[in-house]
Structure 1
Amino acid sequence: MALTPVKGKDVGLAVQKMVAAALKYVLVGCLTDSTFDVDTETDEATCIASGVFKEFIGGQSGWTMGGTLNVRQATNDVSGPGLTDADDNVTAENFLDMQLAGTTVQIRYQIGGAKGSAWYSGLAIITKSSFKGQLKGVATYAISLQGTGPLTKTLAP
């Protein structure tokens, strides 16, 4: 079995939203980087018989996701039958609105773009929105999401 390298452009965040009266995952466009971290707590379980090395047992796990994207404005230009680009895109402005509304979002991290690629999804709270505008270049937006509850792994069809 051959191992195929995964390009950075095939890794990223998708958010579940209503598109044309159906819930769909929409890839967050213009991502310049993305992160997906899973942490597991450990508890020390050392006893006298352990000798000179500490022993640990695994505890609870938690996860975070985030990324930086170039800021784009979604207008109401038609992007498909019955859709506008504001319908079928997720922008920095959408994320900020969700955060201010206290919305818990269904998020998915996609590792690869081919059939059988791993997708990890779960509910998350937007914990930080950070806009950066500079004199030269495109404005950027960084987002941090704290997972709440379990992750579910599925494979891309």
Structure 2
Amino acid sequence: MIRTGILTISDKGSRGERVDGTGPAIRKAIDDKEYKVEYYNMIPDEIDLISKELIYMCDELKLDLILTNGGTGFSKRDVTPEATLKVIKKQAPGICEAMRQKSLAITPKAMLSRAIAGIRDDTLIINLPGSPKGAVENLEFILAALPHGIEILSGSGGECAR
């Protein structure tokens, strides 16, 4: 099982002014697959808080995969990619390139995504859009490749087996 965490980044959601539809939609999209959601949280769009939460999920919980949602657009409060860049050690640009490429076939607004993906030690972090529809579509584009990447990252498979 791929130990997974979902982190929703939303000012309104964290204040109880909006129900999180995206976190549960992501959970449903990976249900019945080889993923086990072991952690979920919703926090405001604060770069230091997002970074600390990502570090906690990677270093303390030692999750294999973190799926963030929200905070990847052009708003002044959208800082999820910057927070992610603060904690990752390697970027994995092909993941978000694939998401943007496939999304462009659906909407030209896909080019406005600033999402990134990267690696911190043995954890893969991927930024997804904040809308349930966008997050699930983007996740479906990449889901088939993730187990192999995580297997290589953990050292349990491929040419990098420990």
Higher relative helix content: 2
Tell me the TM-score normalised to structure 2 length: 0.23
